[in-house]
Structure 1
Amino acid sequence: MYRCPVCAEALSANSAGLACVNRHQFDRAREGYVNLLPVQQKNSKVPGDSAEMMQSRRLFLNAGHYQPLSDAVNQLLASVHPATLLDLGSGEGYYSNRLQQALPETAVYGLDIAKTAVRYAAKAYPAVQYCVASAWHLPFADQSFDAVLKLCAPCEPQELARVCKDGAALLAISAAPQHLVELKQQVYPDVRLHSDAIPQLEGFSHQQRQQLSYQLQQVPVAELLALLEMTPLSWKFKPGQKQKFAETNPSISLDFYLDLYLKKQKQ
């Protein structure tokens, strides 16, 4: 499944981890993941979400607030019966772990550029195969996957199409117009809602759109603060404003689009 991120040759397992014919070696960490992010593909010294953002996301997700979204993802991807599945931008592993539980016969792979998140995911969920890598340079062989979950993760569509089999399913999750609108109202005088346009992804044809909307109510202050910290809106709040807002016990709108695509068949 894996290919070398340096020379694109196939990677084979050895006693230490993975290696290619050109002797590029990638050791397996004690937590079980492999780091396939060469230095030239890093965009910063510590790429990806910080440890603080990962911990906030873990607290919020493990409280079950996004379980309806995870359940909808599992149901849609189960309908295509994938043998191999990639969670692109898998973070601390919440969605990939629940996918593995829902689809026990599927080989689930998780990829994220944040080493801290992947380390936690691999230790907590050993049934999923995790790697540290760039979504723009996927370390997988051509036509490796029957399905891909892309949950708010940026990527290169051509590279994504390369690792998908013909006819593979791509489930892309994005924010629908009302998503977190109450948070936006705290920091923007004129709130701009998320677009309802269906993204066109090169190499894929759009099949269907499902919208999932619900309200979070009576959220404990610590969990609401975690939600704030795991969003880019966190930087917009003034000192002390987050705590005051969380203590008002607000209702929060969650609004998602689930867009299902199929990889186009080669002519």
Structure 2
Amino acid sequence: MIKPLTDFICPLDGKPLHLNERSWRCDNNHSYDVAKQGYVNLLPVQNKRSKDPGDSKAMVQARREYLEQGYYQPLAQALANTVLAEGDQALLDAGCGEGYYLRCIIEQAEQNGTDLSVAGLDISKWAVQAAAKRDKRLSWMVASNSSIPLADNSVDTILCVFGFPVADEFKRVLKPGGRLIMMDPAADHLKELKTIIYSEIKTKNETLPIADPDFELASEQKVAFPVSLASNQAIKDLLTMTPHLYRTSAEGRERAEALSSLKLTVDVWVRVFGLST
């Protein structure tokens, strides 16, 4: 069974939130409405670093178009296998984007008969809106990893997929013995694209993505495979959905956007960290 993870706490005072019709409310009467798409915004204005933080609407749309073509399906499969190896669990996707990887995990969980309580959060309201439209069974939140609006010790597994881990908050919401599963680029990830858009490619130092001593590396798997993009639109979508869009020069973007096909290397680490008790 798939059900929402609803151990919400108020982002202003940390008190438990209770659902009253279409609003989540704490004992101090702070109230957060459920949007028509099915998500709740738990990112107070004072915690925003910009007016519209996170991925833009265009980035979310490009990522959705790209991922739904199945280019990264082997990554989704590897992640689902890793998550579901532990059976029934409460799961938080910390940086869920438009929900592609969570949907793949849920689909496999249903096939396996695994029970999941699931929440996804992202700082981008556009990403959360897109995710919530696709699956109403889960809890979707606009929120930040630096202030996760979930109760202490409420989650068995946290996913951080190409995201930004915040060790102290992850430790707070994880149950004793909980897991952090991270997916991060390895050295050769999208190397062909980088050769086109950058005049110089810096060597990537492969270090663990989280340095907190309470998180111990339990396992790691490198997932590498080729991808062939056969259209100009797919190349534009890939560039738009990645940080490379802002890191490269206008000339670099023009070179990539002029291509009609591109062969790529996908090279990604899937790592499991155990929380020591």
- TM-score when scaled to structure 1? 0.94
- Of 206, 210, 214, which aligns to 1:203? 214
Shift in Å, 1:223: 1.1
Counterpart of 1:85 (choices 74, 88, 91) is 91
Kindly indicate whether residue 262 of structure 2 is the aligned counterpart of residue 250 of structure 1: yes
- Which letter maps to 2:58? E
Partner of 2:116: 106
Q: What is the deviation of 1:27?
A: 0.6
Distance in 2 between residues matched to 1:256 and 1:5, nearest whole Å: 33
Alpha-carbon distance in 2 for matches of 1:163, 1:29: 25
2:47 maps to what in 1? 41
Using the alignment, how far apart are the partners of 1:198 and 1:177 within structure 2?
Answer: 13
* Percent identity of paired positions between Structure 1 and Structure 2: 33
Deviations 1:230-258 (A, max 9, x none): 112123143532322x22x2211110011
Partner amino acid for 1:159? E
Q: Does 1:27 align with 2:33?
A: yes
Match of 1:168 among 168, 171, 178: 178
Unaligned runs of at least 5 residues, structure 2 = 1-6
Equivalent runs, 1:178-257 vs 2, <5 Å: 178-199=188-209, 200-235=211-246, 236-238=248-250, 240-244=254-258, 246-247=259-260, 249-257=261-269
Which SS does the other structure have where 1:252 is aligned? Answer: strand
Identify the residue that residue 264 of structure 1 maps to in structure 2.
276
Which AA in structure 1 matches 2:250? K
Moved more, 227-236 or 25-34: 227-236
Question: Residue 3 of structure 2 aligns with which residue?
Answer: none
Structure-2 separation of matches of 1:243 and 1:138: 37
Alignment map for 1:126-145 (pairs within 5 Å): 126-145=136-155
Does the aligned pair in 2 maintain the 1:111–1:131 contact within 8 Å? Answer: yes
2:262 is paired with a residue whose SS is coil
Q: 1:62: Cα distance to partner?
A: 0.6
Distance in 1 between the 2:88 and 2:12 partners? 29
Alignment equivalent of 1:13, drawn from 8, 13, 19: 19
Structure 1 stretches of at least 4 aligned residues deviating more than 3 Å after TM superposition: none
- The answer on whether the counterparts of 1:158 and 1:203 sit within 8 Å (CA) in structure 2 is no
Displacement of 1:5 in angstroms is: 0.2
8 A contact 1:97–1:128 mirrored in 2: no
* Count of residues in correspondence between the two structures: 263
Contact 1:122 1:130 (C-alpha < 8 Å) held by counterparts? yes
Letter in 2 for 1:255: D
Whole-Å Cα distance in 1 between the matches of residues 26 and 214 of structure 2? 29
Q: Is the 8 A contact 1:3 1:139 kept in 2?
A: yes
Root mean square deviation, CA, Å:
1.3
Deviations 1:165-210 (A, max 9, x none): 0111111111000001112112333312333222323431111110
Mapped to 2, the partners of 1:193 and 1:82 lie a distance apart of 40
The C-alpha deviation readout for 1:109-162, integer Å capped at 9, x for no partner, is: 100011111111101111221110111000000011111110111132011110
- Greater mean alpha carbon deviation, residues 186-195 or residues 92-101: 186-195
Do structure 1's residue 68 and structure 2's residue 74 form an aligned pair? yes
Asked if the contact 2:235/2:257 (under 8 Å) is kept, the reply is no
Give secondary structure in 2 for the equivalent of 1:251.
Answer: strand
- Measured at CA, do residues 181 and 2 of structure 1 come closer, stay the same or move farther in structure 2, by a change above 3 Å? same
